[in-house]
Amino acid sequence: MGTKAQAVPGNTTLQVSGPMHRAYWTRERLEQIKQLVEETVVDFESWQVTAYHGEYRGVTLTLVRKLKGLPEWEGLSPEEAARALDVAFQMLGKDWDSMIPVCGVNQLEARDDFIATWKGVRLALDPEGRDPLVAAYEFVCVRPQPVTADIREWLGSCTPKFWMFFCTAHRLQQMMGPCGYILLPQEKIARLMKVSQWQVSAWCTRLRQLDVLEEVERFIPGKKATRWRFNYTVTFSDANL
């Protein structure tokens, strides 16, 4: 998505520069990217303070999600997006090392962290700045679904919080599409739902045993969260889940 051509009268074309070109970077956009970089560093440092042992995320996660929410960025490859920031940082008189510190479990240099994170992030932050898990959880909070007799017979006893977890995972899978995978970070879900991490782990195990959750890729401590797929076997009565 480096350059788009738009037709104009007279059979000529107007070249519209994308993020990889200097013409894209107005003063306002440079200030915006500077602010987004500062926010991603602050967000990462805040996350480190409360992160549990074994949790992992890149320092540029917030930056990547916000950039992917912009129409002109969402179609860029990881390398194109990194080159776009090369241009922006150069115009700001900065470089990657001065803008984003080397930190995190893997101690990646900022540019490499950005490329790896861009590859891994499937969903951008929504317009309200929420990550996909929070957006899915809040969606089902305001659209509660009844537990039908058929579902109760299939799943067994459904406490309100277990059902909320079930619906949140269902919503996440809908957001990702049937071929995508979802992440269910247990500590984060525990904090959202005010339960223990062990309880979230037990819910995941229960749904996996029922073949509701399929493990796509296994957890790698300090590097990768478990990737799940929620099998589409439920029809909600009423619902826009």
Write out pLDDT tens, residues 91-106.
999 999 889 876 655 5
Q: According to CATH, where is 1.10.10 located in the chain? A: 132-230
Alpha helices in 121-212 (DSSP H): 132-142, 149-155, 160-176, 186-193, 197-209
Size (the chain), residues = 241
pLDDT at residue 222 is higher than 50:
no
Task: Name which of 15-19, 81-85, 152-156, 232-236 the model is least confident about.
Answer: 232-236
Q: What pLDDT is recorded for position 50?
A: 65
Q: Is the dihedral of CA 11, 17, 18, 21 positive or negative?
A: positive
- Name the burial class of residue 44, with classes exposed (0-12), middle (13-18) and buried (19+) by CB atoms within 10 angstroms of its CB: buried
Higher pLDDT, 111 or 5: 111
The CATH architecture of the domain made up of 132-230 is Orthogonal Bundle (1.10)
**pLDDT tens digits, one per residue of 131-188:** 778 888 888 888 888 888 888 888 888 899 999 999 999 988 887 777 677 888 888 8
**pLDDT tens digits, one per residue of 65-100:** 888 878 788 788 999 999 999 999 999 999 998 898
